Structure 1
Amino acid sequence: MSETNMWMVRAGENAYLIDDFKNKNYVAIGWDIGDISKVENKDQVKELVEQTCTYFSKKSQISNAAGQMNRFRFDFKKDDYVISYDPANRIYILGLIRSDYEYNTEISDYYHTRKVDWVGEVRRDDLSTSTRNSLGAITTIFAINDDAAEEIIEILEGKKTHPDEELEEISEEELKEDMVSRAHELIKDKIIALDWEEMEKLVAGVLRSMGYKTLVTERGSDRGKDIEASPDGMMLEEPRILAEVKHRSGKMGAPEVRSFHSVLRGRKGLYISTGGFSKEAKYEADRSIEQLTLIDSDRLVELIIQNYDEFDVETKLLVPLAKIYWPA
């Protein structure tokens, strides 16, 4: 493929403008900040968005809108490829940009426009999994990566048939693993951002979700707290658990683990450190005569995911998560 760019331009909410795009040979975006054909640079566009789009409550929304406006105004070039998606028919329409930016208040209620010559259509079902996924971004405008663009052109020209099913299965599994890994890191980001008191409440909530009743007790001059847990809440029934929570960036070493071990006195021990543990600390726990488990931030994320459905409301508010279903 040549160095010509390919851009996605979505046809409004739920693609309600897709027939207009096809029949009137154009693409367009909203955010009516007025005619920007005479605007000289991207900073001026951002200033217009800040002044005009007062319904944006976050700086990230302003930056996102300005970024997309700037791409449409400055980065799109004549003879670049452009695609838009028709979800009702599962078809991508492909065309070539034939005009500079135009401000047109008559063609639709999206005033920022570019004229397009549509050259063909590609069925979503004919695309590889990796290409379909690359086209799934939620933003109105984005650049299509080179591999996906090349595949779209090859299918349009009849040079590529339906993707190999075995390769598709591998690609889908890799995508699933990638999504799981990203979700894990995002959840970890959430728990690392909690303050020390919220972290202790989170650990207590995890224990409650597993069927224990908890008691948080004051201890130490460093504002640290122990969490005691047992099935009856009176710390009489076994297993009786003592949990220590350390919410800091540094790893816990052998002396800290040894100190915690000394106060267990027949109870099961959970030492939670979001900063992790040194090799010596892990060795100290392994050789402990008491049952002592070390939990770092990755293991804590796993416990959160495994038990989230049983979390009480207070604990869910600490780490709000949404369930995503994946095709089996």
Structure 2
Amino acid sequence: MTAWMVRAGSAGEREQWALDNGYTGAGYGDVDSLADCVTREDVTRKVSLGIPNSSSGAVKNFAAQLWALKDRMEIGDLVVMPLKRTSEVAIGSIDSEYTYLDDPDPQRRHVRRVTWKVTDLARSRIKQDLLYSLGAFSTVCQIQRNDAEYRLRACISGGADPGARVGSSKPMLVPTPSTPTVRMDDPELVEPPVDVSRYAADSIASRLIEAFSGHKMEGLIADILRSAGYVCTEHGEGTDDGIDIVAGKGILGLEPPRLIVQVKSQASPVDSPTVSQLHGSLAIHGADQGLLVAWGGLTRQARKLLESQRFAIRVWDADEVVAQLQEHYGSLPARVRRELPLKQIWTLADEAG
């Protein structure tokens, strides 16, 4: 058994369909059914016919990915789908051989059946080396290094990545943008490059939680809000009223929108009672809105409860905290920038489908 990463569109356009219907698969909708293909060369010919204007390198790359979906994946293998729309990860088990669907959407035709075991695993619960493997710019690729399969199965059963076992068969790899951790076992296929922006966000998140765990996270969130024009009062340690920060506009911080902020920096997901407590605090203290910082994401029940309070409470998960940090970095206090030194770069944009 092994593990595979399969994306669901550059913007996550097939994600919900895949989760709702129990599928995983690639796009390449202009390529006909691969059911009669018995070799990778057969797949290559179909790709050449379906995408005639592609370069020879692109044809080989697409064919290798479709051949993996068609022939190399086995029933029982794990499949991981990084979710674009929620910045979470879904993990499932492959249940069928390759199937070609007669679907009106051409991007939903080359598939395999999957039983999704976990659909909302927060990225913050996965260690950085394994996250790096999930950042490859490829629609389909095998994840092999750093004891990946064992760790993903542990995420299914325990909800968190335990890290690689000592003496695991695949060597540990220190992730850098120039060191791929995924491969297709194909001598003609260049290992897929990494999504640099995703890698950067995960790296920042890893450093951030090391430097600002516990009550220090409350101070960081207050600094971000101050950079956005709020006057903040931090409640500090020792309080147990579900309020960590009170913020408002104006010179005294009394003008709307007036916020109550609760900060949860632990890796475990925030539960629905915490959401209910924050919602109750809004009315008690006359606040306009609530902000829940949930570094480890939300339980399914908490997410469902928040759907009914979408105009009262906003959630910042680890990805959103990183995004807010990047947006306001230049105006953050020098002490924050010393503890979390960042450098902005520009790079060519590319997207995996």
- The TM-score, its normalising length taken from structure 2, stands at 0.44
* Larger RCO (CA within 8 A; separation ≥ 6): 2
Greater Cα radius of gyration, structure 1 or 2: 1
The structure carrying a bigger helix percent of its residues is 1
- The TM-score, its normalising length taken from structure 1, stands at 0.48
